[in-house]
């Protein structure tokens, strides 16, 4: 079957729309697809909103990874932000600046990747803005979700004595491109919210040292002591350590883009979820919240050393990929 | 009073946050400012979502207009999309890619412009993503609004016999930079929704010929006959015509970025609002919806000519500024 060649912005927009499932009020989508403004129906009183922009050369290299991987990541990092609030992702809008030379092919690949990740979490893409220009690819996704009626953990209520957990192995996400394939912990977060008392939660995008630092800062300047032996190290971090000589543990602490959850619960609740974790949730208890500010590491020899948070600052530093 | 110099992404984010008013549940904002994901409370059952991305060199020239004008426009075009749905704009998120060389100054100016427009419409900026890179400035705003309980006009219900209206003079918005200073018709749209039967409505961003074309297409392939003498021509279009030799009427039909509303109402309702327009709403009745597809123009001599819709296609053509 031959297809018409696609030319121009309106042609690409038509193509993208044609491939979308027809959305109805049963999907929570009202109004017309063609409107500049989508109309959606939310079931909960409180609405979650998050946005993340990815730029070629900063967050990925289009020429190396292709547009589908970019779309998958752009949708995934936003879903992960809703997971950190233990919410339900529902609707997304997508704004893109496509490199003009390849606009149609890049737009199509990007759309496929966006939809692949969105479909996995029953997220409907309800609107967007499609542009082309002489610059590199930029994609900005905004995700709208529903807060749980049980509440949202946020970052600011960690307390001294809380146990610190993560939901999976960390580090080296750049080594084999795992940073392009986030696995947002939506179901895990919801299960944890039901099962325990979440004082604070965040998804690991900047890296454990830096993201846990956000929780500590926003909870009034607390600290954490982490057990070096308890921090789960991803095989990618070990392989990366072999190549670059940076200890695998440093990769686990600093690399970021693991998209696992990091959360704190009161000590007694910690015992309970360690003994009976929610179905399908991997838990690693890695340390304790303390009053003295800063992240510190207790080595196998019992020695405690400070961990310098190494947040990824987009204004400096080399490109992550 | 001396201020600390701002360095890096986190410094700029701190500065922006420090200048924001503290938002509380009374403002509809719940949760913590620091969360990657904002929590907002909506009062209506149906939620409007729209997103628009502006890129340096495509939608503005940063070096000529400065970051504050860009912020003002980026927020305004999104508010205008909510106005076209006769909704109430409530919350915005802003994702930016700042040119690294000037990231802090551009970020600060942009924020001032975004806030200036947001404040005028009581819109709260509840989240964002701040990045810097080697490319040109990109800003992507997503706006969340509340649909009116009276409904949203949309674009797809124009009918044969409807009268076509616009809310103000058109054309030449690029000539003196008026395209940078949108005046979103939020109150006007709400007043019209209360006062009359809106079959279809759109904000004029691409240009009358093209935006009215969207209504005609999405209403099942209708047409419109416009009275050349009734189309309100902006003084900028007249001055621009003097310079470029393109008739002022063509500018009014094609230029775009006027951000006036274009809407259709049944003929009997049209009489009523012409005789008693809602307070503060400027109305120009410019034509009639007909069954024969396409936009046509009736000249003062009674001759009818076809108007080729000249939609702005970002994949082609020169930069609009």
In which band, very low, low, confident or very high, does the pLDDT at B40 lie, cut at 50, 70 and 90? Answer: confident
Cross-chain residue pair B46–A53, CB shorter than 8 Å: no
Is A260 known as a binding-site position?
no
Q: What is the pLDDT of residue B111?
A: 94
Question: Is residue B257 a known part of a binding site?
Answer: yes
Helix (H) or strand (E) segment spanning residue B262: strand B261-265
Q: Three-state DSSP class for A302? A: coil
Q: Which letter does DSSP use for residue A34 in this model?
A: T
Binary contact (B55, A131; C-beta < 8 A): yes
Q: Chain B contact for A170, CB < 8 A?
A: no
**A64 plus A120 within the same structural domain:** yes
Distance from C-alpha of A74 to C-alpha of A117, rounded to nearest angstrom: 9
Residue A312, token pair as written in the block: 């990824």
Q: Is B205 flagged in the annotation as binding?
A: yes
Residue B152, domain member (yes or no): no
Question: What is the per-residue pLDDT for B32?
Answer: 67
User: In angstroms, what separates the C-alpha of A238 from chain B's closest C-alpha?
Assistant: 29
Q: And the tokens for A236?
A: 């990618």
SS3 assignment, position A54: strand
Residues of A in contact with B110 (CB under 8 A): none
Does B22 have pLDDT greater than 90?
no
Domain-terminating residue out of B95, B114, B146: B146
The answer to whether the beta carbons of residues B56 and A50 sit under 8 Å apart is: no
- Band of the pLDDT at A227, cuts 50, 70, 90? very high
Between A8 and A28, the higher pLDDT residue: A28
Tokens matching residue B243: 């310079």
Q: How distant is the alpha carbon of residue B66 from its chain centre?
A: 20
Q: What is the mean pLDDT of residues B154-173?
A: 96
Q: What is the pLDDT of residue B312?
A: 52
Q: Is residue B311 over pLDDT 80?
A: no
A75 plus A182 within the same structural domain: no
- Whether the per-residue pLDDT at A320 is higher than 50: the answer is no
pLDDT at B107: 94
Strand locations in chain A (E):
29-30, 38-41, 46-55, 88-99, 124-133, 138-146, 163-166, 200-203, 223-227, 261-265, 284-290, 294-298, 304-307
Contact B12 A315 (CB under 8 A): yes
Report the distance separating Cα B6 and Cα A138, nearest Å.
26
Residues B178 and B289 in one domain: yes
Q: Calculate mean pLDDT across residues A91-101.
A: 94
pLDDT > 70 fraction of chain A, expressed in percent and rounded? 92
Q: What is the pLDDT of residue B313?
A: 53
Q: Which of B10, B36, B218 sits opposite A81 (nearest CB)?
A: B36
Query: In this model, does residue A301 exceed pLDDT 80?
Result: yes
Measure the CA dihedral A72/A76/A77/A82, to 10°.
Answer: 160
Which residue of chain A has the CA closest to B316? A8
Chain mean position to CA A78: 6
Q: Which of A8, A52, A133 to mutate to test the interface with B (most CBs of B within 10 A)?
A: A133
B297/chain A closest Cα distance in angstroms = 24
CATH at residue B79: 3.30.1330.10
Asked if residue B202 lies in contact with residue B154, where contact means CB atoms within 8 angstroms, the answer is: no
- End-to-end alpha carbon distance in chain B: 39
CB environment A256-279: b (16+ within 10 A), e (fewer)? bbbbbbbbbbbeebbeebeeebbe
Handedness of CA A98, A103, A109, A111 (dihedral sign): positive
pLDDT band at B231 (very low <50, low <70, confident <90, very high): very high
From chain B, the residues in CB contact with A47 under 8 A are: 39-42, 47, 144
Evaluate whether A111 touches A19 at the Cβ level (below 8 Å). yes
Q: Considering only CB atoms, which chain B residues are within 8 Å of A85? A: 31, 35, 37, 39
Whether B156 contacts chain A with CB within 8 A: yes
Contact B50/A31, CB-based, under 8 Å? no
Q: Which of A103, A146, A102 is nearest to A121 (CA)?
A: A146
∠ CA A109-A114-A115, rounded to 5°: 100
At B35, the pLDDT band (50, 70, 90 cuts) reads low
Domain contains A151: no
- The domain boundary residue, chosen from A146, A173, A196: A146
Using a 10 angstrom Cβ sphere, with 0-12 exposed, 13-18 middle and 19 or more buried, the burial of residue B118 is: buried
Q: Is the dihedral of CA B307, B313, B319, B321 positive or negative?
A: positive
Whether residues B288 and B244 share a domain: the answer is yes
Chain A residues whose CB is inside 8 A of the B22 CB are: none
Does B157 reside within a domain? no
CA A114 to chain centre: 14
How far is it, in rounded angstroms, from Cα B85 to Cα B53? 19
- Asked whether residue A36 falls in the same domain as residue A109, the answer is yes
Which pLDDT score is estimated for B317?
A: 43
Residues A59 and A173 in one domain: no
Among A82, A83, A87, A78, which Cα is nearest to A59's? A78
B133 CB within 8 Å of a chain A CB:
yes
Residue B3 is assigned to a structural domain of this protein: no
pLDDT in tens, A136-167: 999 999 999 999 999 899 899 999 999 999 99
Cα gap B266→B149, rounded to integer Å: 21
**Residue A297 belongs to a domain:** yes
Q: Residue B127 is nearest to which of A50, A130, A313, comparing CB atoms?
A: A50
Cβ-based contacts of B142 with chain A (< 8 Å): 49, 51, 93, 95, 142
* Confidence bin at A61 (pLDDT 50/70/90): very high
Is the pLDDT reported for residue A318 higher than 50?
no
- Asked if A316 reaches chain B (Cβ–Cβ under 8 Å), the answer is yes
Quote ipTM for the complex: 0.90
Does position A3 have pLDDT exceeding 60, yes or no?
no
Mean local confidence (pLDDT), A10-18: 77
Write out pLDDT tens, residues B100-118. 999 999 999 999 999 999 9
In a domain, B107, yes or no: yes
Question: Does residue B167 sit in the same domain as residue B131?
Answer: no
The answer to whether residue B317 is domain-embedded is: no
Cα A117 versus chain centre, distance? 12
Same domain as A192, residue A273: yes
Assess whether pLDDT exceeds 90 at residue B163.
yes
Q: What angle do CA A128, A122, A32 make, to 5 degrees?
A: 40
Count Cα atoms within 13 angstroms, Cβ side, for B98: 29
Element (H, E) at A301: none
Residue B140's DSSP bridge partners are B53, B95
**According to the annotation, is B305 in a ligand binding site?**
no
CA distances from B160 to A190, B154, B221, B224, B272 (A): 51, 16, 11, 9, 18
Read off φ and ψ for residue A93, nearest 5 degrees.
Answer: -120, 155
Residues A126 and A183 in one domain: no
CATH number at residue A177: 3.90.650.10
The tens digit of pLDDT for each residue in A187-211 reads 999 999 999 999 999 999 999 999 9
| pLDDT recorded at residue B318 | 40
Among A1-15, A82-96, B47-61, B79-93, the range scoring the smallest mean pLDDT is A1-15
Point out the domain boundary residue: B96, B113, B146.
Answer: B146
Pair A157, A53: CB distance under 8 Å: no
B138 chain-A contacts, CB cut-off 8 A: 53, 55, 97, 135, 138, 140
Question: Residues 258..277 of A with a Cβ closer than 8 Å to B: which?
Answer: none
Containing domain of residue B15, as a range?
8-146
Backbone angles phi, psi at B284, to 5 degrees: -125, 120
Residue A314 pLDDT exceeds 60: no
CB neighbours of B228 closer than 8 A, spacing ≥ 6? B249, B297, B298, B299, B300
Residue B264 lies in a domain: yes
Are residues A138 and A226 located together in one domain of the fold?
no
A32-55 pLDDT per residue, tens: 666 677 888 887 778 999 999 999
Taking the CB of residue B25, how many other CB atoms lie within 10 A of it?
12
Alpha carbon dihedral A74, A79, A80, A82, in 10-degree steps, equals 140
Residues A174 and A211 in one domain: yes
Q: Do A313 and B9 touch (CB under 8 A)?
A: yes
∠ CA A129-A134-A137 to the nearest 5 degrees? Answer: 55
For the cut 60, the answer to whether the pLDDT of residue A2 exceeds it is no
Number of domains in chain B: 2
d(CA B294, CA B122): 39
Same domain, A177 and A303: yes
């Amino acid at each position: 079957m031959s297809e018409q060649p696609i030319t121009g912005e309106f042609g690409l927009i038509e193509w993208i729309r044609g491939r979308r499932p027809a959305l109805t009020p049963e999907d929570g989508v009202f109004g017309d697809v063609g409107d500049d403004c989508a109309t959606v129906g939310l079931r909960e009183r409180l609405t979650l909103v998050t946005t993340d922009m990815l730029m070629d050369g900063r967050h990925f290299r289009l020429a190396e990874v292709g547009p589908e991987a970019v779309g998958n990541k752009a949708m995934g990092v936003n879903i992960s932000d809703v997971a950190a609030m233990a919410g339900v992702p529902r609707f997304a809008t997508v704004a893109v600046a496509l490199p003009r030379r390849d606009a149609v092919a890049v737009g199509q690949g990007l759309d496929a990747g966006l939809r692949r990740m969105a479909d996995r979490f029953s997220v409907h893409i309800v609107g967007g803005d499609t542009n082309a220009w002489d610059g590199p690819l930029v994609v900005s996704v905004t995700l709208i979700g529903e807060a749980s009626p049980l509440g949202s953990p946020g970052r600011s209520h960690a307390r001294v004595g809380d146990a610190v957990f993560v939901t999976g192995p960390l580090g080296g996400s750049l080594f084999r491109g795992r940073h392009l394939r986030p696995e947002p912990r939506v179901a895990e977060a919801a299960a944890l919210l039901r099962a325990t008392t979440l004082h604070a939660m965040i998804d690991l995008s900047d890296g454990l040292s830096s993201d846990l630092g956000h929780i500590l800062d926003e909870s009034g300047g607390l600290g954490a002591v982490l057990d070096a032996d308890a921090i789960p190290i991803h095989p990618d971090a070990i392989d990366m350590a072999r190549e670059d000589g940076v200890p695998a543990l440093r990769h686990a602490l600093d690399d970021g883009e693991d998209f696992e959850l990091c959360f704190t619960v009161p000590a007694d609740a910690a015992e309970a979820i360690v003994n009976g974790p929610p179905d399908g949730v991997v838990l690693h208890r890695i340390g304790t919240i303390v009053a003295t500010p800063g992240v510190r590491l207790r080595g196998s020899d019992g020695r405690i050393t400070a961990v310098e948070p190494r947040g990824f600052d987009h204004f400096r530093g080399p490109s992550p990929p």
